[in-house]
Amino acid sequence: MGRTYLFECCRCGYRANVSGGVDRGFRFAVQTILCFECKALHDAVTELKVPTAPALARWKLKTSRLDAAPGPAKAPTFQAALNRLAFPGVRRFRWLRFKPACPVSARHRIRDWNQPGKCPKCGALLERNALPFRIWD
């Protein structure tokens, strides 16, 4: 299970809903990043579980979901990864790996951000809410 937390800056009021580091569920994994261009935190998708090519071909025939794609060439956004087709009944998977990148533009300069860490706007320490904002698999 992955967990998304609300991080808040008590100095400038910046807020972000991110995992706060490396986190993984059953279908994908994320790394929280700081983007220097956006001056914001994002959860970058770093791993995505996709059916193997033969498993996907069998699944398409069985389900008539001929539109199902094996996997994206670049990392999907967190929301797209969350909403991705689940492929029920498929047993053989592989993991696609992506270099952490800003979901707004892959050209933005980023670095990994792990809690406890500083506010991307003002540099004060961000505070994490105790309870997760969202639990995802």
Residue with smaller CB distance to Zn ion, 34 or 56: 34
Task: Determine if 41 is a binding residue for Zn ion (CB under 5 A).
Answer: no
Task: Determine if 10 is a binding residue for Zn ion (CB under 5 A).
Answer: no
Residue with smaller CB distance to Zn ion, 51 or 100: 100
Burial class (CB in 10 A: 0-12, 13-18, 19+), 97: exposed
Task: Determine if 9 is a binding residue for Zn ion (CB under 5 A).
Answer: yes
List helix spans (H) across 4-132: 53-63, 78-82
Structure tokens at 57: 């071909």
Among 3, 60, 108, 128, binds Zn ion (CB under 5 A): 108
Task: Determine if 1 is a binding residue for Zn ion (CB under 5 A).
Answer: no
User: Cis before residue 76, ω within 30 degrees of 0?
Assistant: no
Among 53, 85, 104, 135, binds Zn ion (CB under 5 A): 104
Task: Determine if 35 is a binding residue for Zn ion (CB under 5 A).
Answer: yes
Task: Determine if 90 is a binding residue for Zn ion (CB under 5 A).
Answer: no
Task: Determine if 102 is a binding residue for Zn ion (CB under 5 A).
Answer: yes
Task: Determine if 38 is a binding residue for Zn ion (CB under 5 A).
Answer: yes
Whether residue 47 contacts residue 24, with contact meaning beta carbons closer than 8 Å, is answered with yes
Rounded Cα distance between 9 and 48, Å, is: 31
Rounded Cα distance between 98 and 89, Å, is: 25
Neighbouring CB atoms inside 10 A of 28's CB total 27
* Residue numbers at the binding site for Zn ion (CB under 5 A): 9, 11-12, 14, 35, 37-38, 102, 104, 108, 119, 121-122, 124
